[in-house]
Amino acid sequence: MLNSKDRWPDALAGTIVLAAGLWFVTFYLSWSVFWIKISASASILAFLSFVLQPFDREQYKLNGGWVLAGILSAFVLYGIFFLGKAVSTLILPFAGDQIGGIYGKGVGTSSSIISLLLFFITGPAEEIYWRGYLQKNLMARYGNMQGWLLATAVYAGVHIWSFNFMLVGAAAVAGAFWGAMYWRFNNLWAVIISHSIWSTVIFAFLPMN
């Protein structure tokens, strides 16, 4: 069976360009509801991931170990962000305002809707594309370390449309964290659960603004 690189030689770069465009619409353009835009953008990329590469049953295997790893890692990452906020607000005068600006994008949307979108749509869809398609293929082409670094850089880079240094930095940290998990475990359920829980907690239940 041909892999995605053989079947779609330009698809990987094309999806990166598309992701940049979708994140531009999501973060820079003010029309529509932010949380709906990010869910729709992630869903489009996840759909393309299934179209462009054969379904890999191995990375979708689910067991108690992956569930536990996802839950524990979500709270480890929350702790990293908690410490990061404390340090950044001490040394960067603009950090507090920029962190507040991140949460400002969701003003007017109820926390229950945000929770549902993040947990069931945005978190899973982002991991299906960013780790399960993009990082997987970059690691296959350039080696594990380089693929992980490139995937992390692209994930952080598309957030540049927010023009928010703290958000780009947060995306780099989270992307590196989930990318390392995917590299280590080669399992999407662990990172899907981690991303879904972390984003729901940090944006809906225990925000850091």
Alpha helices in the chain (DSSP H): 4-7, 11-27, 34-52, 64-91, 95-104, 111-117, 123-129, 136-142, 144-157, 165-185, 188-200
In tens, the pLDDT along 62-108 reads 999 999 999 999 999 999 999 999 999 999 999 999 999 999 887 88
- 3 pLDDT more than 70: no
Our CA angle for 52, 127, 181, nearest 5°, is: 120
**pTM of the predicted structure, to 2 decimals:** 0.94
pLDDT of residue 9: 55
C-alpha to C-alpha distance for 138 and 206, rounded to whole angstroms = 34
Residue type, 102: I
In tens, the pLDDT along 126-165 reads 999 999 999 999 999 999 999 999 999 999 999 999 999 9
Asked if 124 contacts 151 with a C-beta cutoff of 8 angstroms, the reply is: no
In tens, the pLDDT along 11-67 reads 999 999 999 999 999 999 988 899 999 999 999 999 999 999 999 999 999 999 999
Among 202, 189, 187, residue whose Cα is nearest residue 84: 202
Average pLDDT over residues 173-183: 98
